[in-house]
Chain A
Amino acid sequence: AIQLTQSPSSLSASVGDRVTISCRASQDIGSALAWYQQKPGKAPKLLIYDASSLQSGVPSKFSGSGSGTDFTLTISSLQPEDFATYYCQQFNSYPLTFGGGTKVEIK
């Protein structure tokens, strides 16, 4: 199975900060990666698909980049509603796998 390693596992940031989250795959997955945001007690929300395509309705402050084994989610200017846990997921092969998550907290 393809392993996805997210880093950091948690981070503290201030409103207005630029935040980057990394997701590294254990083998080449092309662009078959999505990013989700999850708030406590809620279902995940799709932010990015195909590594860099913005899901409809998602603010443009979210962006994704990368291909192969190294991927990044960037939040350009952190807002209070962005404090949440973020997960990457690969779609290159079965079993589909998620990264361990990155919790973004208020500094």
Chain B
Amino acid sequence: EVQLVESGGGLVQIGGSLRLSCAASGFTVSSNYMTWVRQAPGKGLEWVSIIYSGGSTYYADSVKGRFTISRDDSKNTLLLQMNSLRAEDTAVYYCARSPNWNYVSGFDYWGQGTLLTVSS
């Protein structure tokens, strides 16, 4: 059974750093495209970043240069390193999987989300 479990959220000061993890089971993270999507309280969905099975990465303009997506293949885990955090980064962060190894057309499995609160 495919499962994604996020962790690492919490309360961080403006300008601080945090790393989110997404532990996967039932499939191999490095064989799929993996993504992070966030949702600010009471707001819609916002795509954050994606990593291809080959390792290529893309980012939303709002996080480019501050966030880094990566994988720990030994732990079958997706990571999101977040630096220079801003109040507007406050959101529930979801990791999700594309079912394909070579293109993306939708994300079929999602984690339960982890809440990041950035405050002074």
Name A's B-contacting residues (CB within 8 A): 1, 32, 34, 36, 38, 43-46, 48-50, 53, 55, 87, 89, 91, 94-101
Contact = CB atoms under 8 A, between A and B. Distances in A.
Contacts, number: 60
17 contacts: A32-B105, A44-B37, A44-B96, A46-B107, A49-B105, A53-B105, A55-B108, A89-B47, A91-B104, A94-B50, A95-B47, A95-B59, A96-B35, A96-B50, A97-B47, A98-B46, A101-B45
Interface string B52-83: 00000011110000000000000000000000
Given A43-B113, A50-B106, A95-B47, 14 more contacts: A1-B61, A43-B96, A43-B110, A44-B45, A44-B107, A44-B110, A46-B107, A49-B106, A89-B106, A91-B106, A94-B58, A95-B58, A95-B59, A95-B61
Interface of B: 35, 37, 44-47, 50, 58-61, 94, 96, 104-108, 110-113
Contact of A46 (B44, B47, B108): B108
Nearest to A49: B106
Contacts of B46: 98
Given A43-B94, A43-B113, A91 B105 contact: yes
Contacts of B107: 34, 44, 46
A37 B67 CA distance: 27
A97 B96 CA distance: 15
A98 B45 contact: yes
Contacts of B111: 43
B32 to A, nearest CB: 14
A57 to B, nearest CB: 10
Closest 9 CB pairs of A and B: A49-B106, A43-B110, A34-B106, A96-B47, A98-B45, A49-B105, A94-B58, A101-B44, A95-B60
A84 to B, nearest CB: 13
